[in-house]
Structure 1
Amino acid sequence: MVDLTEQERAAMRAALRPVAELMEEIGWTTPLASLSETQVLTLIEAAIGGFQEAMAASAAQASTEIPF
């Protein structure tokens, strides 16, 4: 397993929203094995996009001050 930072964990939680929105469209009771390739790729894209957006927002808020 990957050793995630707290920033990465927060970005993963932020990525839940776009994935959940897609799952709402697909149907929460739909088995994953029943999803089409397009649906799975769209879910992956939403997860990665949400993660990247959250990480970029976090980096923009980070202090540029040198800690010494």
Structure 2
Amino acid sequence: MVDLTEQEKTAMRAAMRRVAETMAEIGWGTRFQELSEAQVLTLIEVAVGGFQEAMQAIARQDAAAEVPF
């Protein structure tokens, strides 16, 4: 596995929350092999989208915190 930065770990946690919300809709008792292709693709889309959005938010915060010289 890749060594993740603290920002990436934070973004993964944000994505995990979105995946958990989607799994709650699907049903936590559903085994992975029982998921339809559409459900798996939705989980992937939610995870990637959540990660990207969190990383963009972190980048905006970091840019705002920089002191221009």
TM-score > 0.5, shorter chain as reference: yes
Q: Output the amino acid matched with 1:64.
A: E
Q: What residue number does 2:29 align with?
A: 29
Q: What residue number does 1:43 align with?
A: 43
* Sequence identity percentage: 67
Q: Output the amino acid matched with 1:58.
A: I
Q: Output the amino acid matched with 2:10.
A: A
Q: What residue number does 1:8 align with?
A: 8
**Distance (Å, rounded) in 1 between the aligned partners of 2:2 and 2:41:** 22
Q: How many residues align?
A: 66
Q: Which runs of 5+ in 2 are unaligned?
A: none
- Structure with a larger share of its residues in helix: 2
TM-score (norm 2): 0.89
What CA deviation, in whole Å up to 9, does each residue of 1:10-65 have, x standing for no partner?
A: 00001012111110111001000100010000000000000000000000000333
Q: Output the amino acid matched with 2:66.
A: T
Q: What residue number does 2:67 align with?
A: 65
Q: Which runs of 5+ in 1 are unaligned?
A: none
TM-score (norm 1): 0.90
